[in-house]
Amino acid sequence: IKNIAVLTSGGDAPGMNACIRAVVRTGIYNGINMFGVLQGYQGLISNNINPMDARSVSNIIHLGGTILKTARCLEFKTDEGMQLAYDNLKKHDIDALVVIGGDGTFTGAKRFGEKFGIRVMGVPGTIDNDLYGSDFTLGYDTAINTVVEAIDKIRDTADSHDRLFFIEVMGRDSGCIALRSAISSGAEAVLLPEKDTSLNELIAQLETGASTKKTSSIVIVSEGHKDGGAYDVAKKVKERFNHYDTKVTILGHLQRGGSPSSFDRILGSRLGFAAVNELLKGNTMQMVGLRGNDVQTTSLKDALTTHSFKLESDLLEMTKVLSI
Ligand code: F6P
């Protein structure tokens, strides 16, 4: 391998820059020519591919977002788009690609690698924590910290005004952000896509709280929950439970930004370093991830198709017990 390119794709996640820095510097340290692709797969198609040196990644470890920019690229799903991307990689003589992103990114990388034999290594970068093969994905820890900081502030108002707040958090089909932020913020209840909590159950829990002198409550609603978003749930609850004034907050994209936590900086550095080293060892079509405290590889196929229930069962149980 002589030339490696790196790109970020899908939703941005804090820690992506730490990872880009590690990829570029590990490659250069090993005598590889490094390239950065702007705007994910879109940049491959439009030949937005530029050489990078050790100084192109100076002073970025603490920055959220991604200096390489990102996109959700529909054209890369077509045969024509992929062919253009491949032709552009060949113009620069690039023989391997590090892709940092989530499941959509890996689906594209897997197809691309299979179709053209280009070497690919994935790094799990998404706040959702919804990939198999890594206990934590890049950005997940920072996102939880951001959510908890926001909930702490909302709790001040909930407590001062004796209110019930429904707070909607991201995670697409994964309740990981919701569960961890519920535990860390001491929320009264949490609604997750993976768990079928009925409205009856939720209302019973809120009733118990009200009857035992709770004067305010916070319910975290994961965006992928079956009863809809926080506004839908709040409306349904309000029809049957009227002890408090009810408010809704959607945290939205503020969860994706901000300076990465030290955990995400270290994770990004470890996984970027490992991604290049795995390519240099001759590995391809893998994802590097953290299992326990070890960096390990998982095939892109398994990362995408093995569905593991990633919610910690003790945390699930605690949501009920600790909020009485
Ligand atoms: O995958 C990360 C994520 O932030 C999800 O939690 C959310 O459902 C989605 O991306 C939002 O995507 P967009 O920024 O394209 O609206």
Catalytic residue, chosen from 128, 130, 141, 264, is 128
Q: Which atom of ligand 1 is nearest to the CA of 102?
A: 1
Whether 128 is catalytic: yes
Q: What is the pTM of this model?
A: 0.97
149 is in an annotated binding site: no
Nearest to 64 by CA among 128, 5, 8, 2: 8
Distance 172 CA to ligand 1 centre (A): 7
Instruction: Give the angle subtended at the CA of 178 by the CAs of 173 and 181, to the nearest 5°.
Output: 155
21 is in an annotated binding site: yes
Give the three-state DSSP class for 32.
coil
Question: Does the complex come out with an ipTM higher than 0.90?
Answer: yes
Q: Whose CA is nearest to atom 1 of ligand 1?
A: 11
Distance CA 134, CA 171 (A): 16
Check residue 310 and give its pLDDT: 86
Check residue 156 and give its pLDDT: 98
Q: What is the mean pLDDT of each run of 10 residues along the chain (324 residues)?
A: 98 98 98 98 98 98 98 96 98 98 97 97 97 97 98 98 98 96 97 93 95 96 94 96 95 98 98 98 98 97 84 92 92
Which residues are bridge partners to 168 per DSSP? 221, 250
The β-bridge relationship of strands 96-101 and 49-52 is unpaired
Is the shortest distance between the CB of 73 and ligand 1 below 6 Å? no
CB-side neighbour CA atoms (13 Å) of 164: 25
Distance 11 CA to ligand 1 centre (A): 6
Distance CA 189, CA 208 (A): 12
- Do the Cβ atoms of 109 and 120 come closer than 8 Å? yes
172 is in an annotated binding site: yes
Check residue 305 and give its pLDDT: 85
Distance CA 161, CA 164 (A): 9
- Do the Cβ atoms of 16 and 100 come closer than 8 Å? yes
Is the shortest distance between the CB of 176 and ligand 1 below 6 Å? no
Q: Which atom of ligand 1 is nearest to the CA of 255?
A: 4
Distance 148 CA to ligand 1 centre (A): 18
Strands (E), the chain: 3-8, 33-37, 49-52, 96-101, 119-124, 163-169, 189-191, 217-222, 245-250, 286-291, 294-299
Check residue 238 and give its pLDDT: 96
Which residues are bridge partners to 245 per DSSP? 163
Distance CA 106, CA 102 (A): 6
22 is in an annotated binding site: yes
